[in-house]
């Protein structure tokens, strides 16, 4: 595990974008595992800048996203598909038919989840998975639990995640109570994992993820078992180390 210290959010985003750029340059038809949330937004912005300058070509890249709120249509402004389109895909030359985000409206959830697992395999597996951390240590929407969930599944969001994510909705009641998420096996199968962590509210989870026991009560602690993880964290996120 490599822990890379960034001065602040901008520096973190630039460093993360550098790693993603290297991946896209070295393997133009790579599969990127992508994340939503405020943590990776700056990374996407930086990648868009470099794309516009002509330094990057996403035309052969495929992507699979970690998660999606259950019950939100792709056009819903708080859906993760909408987030990905507006914060990244609409501004680069990626072929949208090769971008995949779980379907929040899937009626047969179990079948959808098995198909999403298959899809990840069919595209060749994830070369580089970008991750943010939830304040409670969740990755994707794998919430603290008694067991590590293996594959793509539907999850009940914890009160702390609903509280943390309500800032994006008009009120707390509007935050969906469930989500579809890749499981821990899906995430751990990625060849390389890049974690971006910013802010003091993530400091405790980050410290425990690196130095604490590996436990499903802190899902990100499982990353200790992955052979190729880079964590880029700003000074605030590293403040408890």
Residues binding ligand GLP (CB under 6 A)? 35-39, 66-67, 132-134, 140-141, 161, 165
> 13 vs 161, which CB is nearer to ligand GLP?
161
Token pair recorded at residue 108: 């047969």
**In angstroms, what is the minimal distance from the CB of 44 to ligand GLP?**
12
142 is catalytic: no
**In angstroms, what is the minimal distance from the CB of 15 to ligand GLP?**
16
CB atoms closer than 10 angstroms to residue 15: 20
**In angstroms, what is the minimal distance from the CB of 66 to ligand GLP?**
5
Q: Which residues pair with 68 in a beta bridge?
A: 180
> 36 vs 62, which CB is nearer to ligand GLP?
36
In 3D space, the residue among 198, 238, 204, 205 whose CA is nearest the CA of residue 222 turns out to be 205
Interatomic CA distance for residues 69 and 59, integer angstroms: 28
> 67 vs 117, which CB is nearer to ligand GLP?
67
Yes or no: say if 73 and 101 are a contact pair by the CB < 8 Å rule.
Answer: no
Contacts made by residues 160-166, CB under 8 angstroms, sequence distance 24+: 160/135, 160/136, 161/134, 161/136, 164/134, 164/135
85 is catalytic: no
76 is catalytic: no
Interatomic CA distance for residues 181 and 227, integer angstroms: 22
138 is catalytic: yes
From 100, 117, 138, 186, the catalytic residue: 138
**In angstroms, what is the minimal distance from the CB of 229 to ligand GLP?**
15
From 68, 117, 127, 143, the catalytic residue: 143
> 102 vs 134, which CB is nearer to ligand GLP?
134
Q: Which residues are catalytic?
A: 67, 136, 138, 143
């Amino acid at each position: 595990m490599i822990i890379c210290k960034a001065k602040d959010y901008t520096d973190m985003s630039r460093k993360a974008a550098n790693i993603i750029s290297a991946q896209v340059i070295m393997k133009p038809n790579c599969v990127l595992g992508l994340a939503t949330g405020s943590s990776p937004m700056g990374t996407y912005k930086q990648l868009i800048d470099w794309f516009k300058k002509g330094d990057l070509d996403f035309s052969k890249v495929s992507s699979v996203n970690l998660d999606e709120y259950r019950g939100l249509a792709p056009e819903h402004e708080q859906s993760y598909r909408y987030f990905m389109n507006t914060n990244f895909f609409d501004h680069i030359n990626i072929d949208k038919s090769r971008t995949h985000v779980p379907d929040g409206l899937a009626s047969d959830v179990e079948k959808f989840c098995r198909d999403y697992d298959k899809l990840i395999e069919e595209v060749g597996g994830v070369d580089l998975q970008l991750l943010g951390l939830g304040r409670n240590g969740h990755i994707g929407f794998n919430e603290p639990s008694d067991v590590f969930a293996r594959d793509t599944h539907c999850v009940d969001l914890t009160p702390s995640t609903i509280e943390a994510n309500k800032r994006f909705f008009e009120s707390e009641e509007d935050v969906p109570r469930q989500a579809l998420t890749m499981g821990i096996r899906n995430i751990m199968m990625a060849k390389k994992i890049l974690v971006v962590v910013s802010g003091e509210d993530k400091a405790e989870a980050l410290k425990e993820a690196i130095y604490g026991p590996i436990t499903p009560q802190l899902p990100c602690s499982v990353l200790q078992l992955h052979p190729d993880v880079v964590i880029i964290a700003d000074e605030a996120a590293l403040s408890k180390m």
